[in-house]
Amino acid sequence: MIKSIITLGIESSCDETSVAVVRNGREVLSNIINSQIPIHEKFGGVVPEIASRNHIDAISIVTKQALEQANITYSDIDAVTCTYGPGLVGALLVGVSYAKALSYAIGKPLVGVNHIEGHIAANYITHKDLKPPFIALVISGAHTHLVHIKGYNEFEILGKTRDDAVGEAFDKVARVIGLGYPGGPKIDKLAKEGKPTIELPTTHIDGLDFSFSGIKTAIINMNYKNPNINKADLAASFQKHVADVLENAAIKAVEKTGLKKIVLAGGVSANSCIRERFENLKEKGIQVFYPEMILCTDNAAMIASAGYYNYINGKRDGLNLNAVPNLKLGE
Q: Least separation, in Å, of the C-beta of 34 and ligand KG4?
A: 14
Q: Does 117 bind ligand KG4 (CB under 6 A)?
A: no
C-alpha span between 38 and 285 (Å, rounded):
42
Q: Least separation, in Å, of the C-beta of 24 and ligand KG4?
A: 24
C-alpha span between 196 and 257 (Å, rounded):
32
Instruction: Tell me whether residue 18 or residue 103 sits nearer to ligand KG4 (CB atom).
Output: 18
> Under DSSP, is residue 57 helix (H, G, I), strand (E, B) or coil?
helix
Strand order in the sheet with 134-139: 154-160, 144-151, 134-139, 261-265, 287-289
> DSSP string of 230-241?
-HHHHHHHHHHH
Q: Least separation, in Å, of the C-beta of 76 and ligand KG4?
A: 28
Q: Least separation, in Å, of the C-beta of 239 and ligand KG4?
A: 8
Nearest to 327 by CA among 80, 88, 135: 88
Query: Phi/psi zone of residue 180: left (φ > 0), alpha (ψ -120 to 50 degrees), beta?
Result: left
Partner from ligand KG4, Zn ion, none contacting 291, C-beta within 5 to 8 A by type = none
Query: Which member of 85, 182, 196, 307 binds ligand KG4 (CB under 6 A)?
Result: 182
Q: Which residues pair with 261 in a beta bridge?
A: 287
List alpha helices for the chain, DSSP H.
37-41, 48-70, 89-106, 115-126, 166-176, 183-191, 213-225, 231-257, 272-280, 301-312
C-alpha span between 183 and 168 (Å, rounded):
9
Pairing of strands 6-11, 79-85: parallel
Subset of residues 249 to 308 that bind ligand KG4, contact rule: CB under 6 A: 266-268, 270-271, 297-298
Q: Does 34 bind Zn ion (CB under 5 A)?
A: no
Partner from ligand KG4, Zn ion, none contacting 126, C-beta within 5 to 8 A by type = none
Subset of residues 138 to 157 that bind Zn ion, contact rule: CB under 5 A: 140
Q: Does 141 bind ligand KG4 (CB under 6 A)?
A: yes
Sequence letter at residue 115:
H
Q: Least separation, in Å, of the C-beta of 95 and ligand KG4?
A: 14
Q: Least separation, in Å, of the C-beta of 213 and ligand KG4?
A: 15
Sign of CA dihedral 219, 224, 225, 226: positive
- Candidate segments 35-43, 180-188, 192-200, 315-323, binder of ligand KG4 by CB under 6 A: 180-188
Subset of residues 278 to 317 that bind Zn ion, contact rule: CB under 5 A: 298
Query: Which member of 11, 78, 117, 188 binds ligand KG4 (CB under 6 A)?
Result: 188
Q: Does 14 bind ligand KG4 (CB under 6 A)?
A: yes
Instruction: Tell me whether residue 7 or residue 239 sits nearer to ligand KG4 (CB atom).
Output: 239
**Residues of this chain that bind Zn ion (CB under 5 A):** 140, 298
Q: Which residues bind ligand KG4 (CB under 6 A)?
A: 14, 140-142, 167, 170-171, 182-185, 188, 266-268, 270-271, 297-298
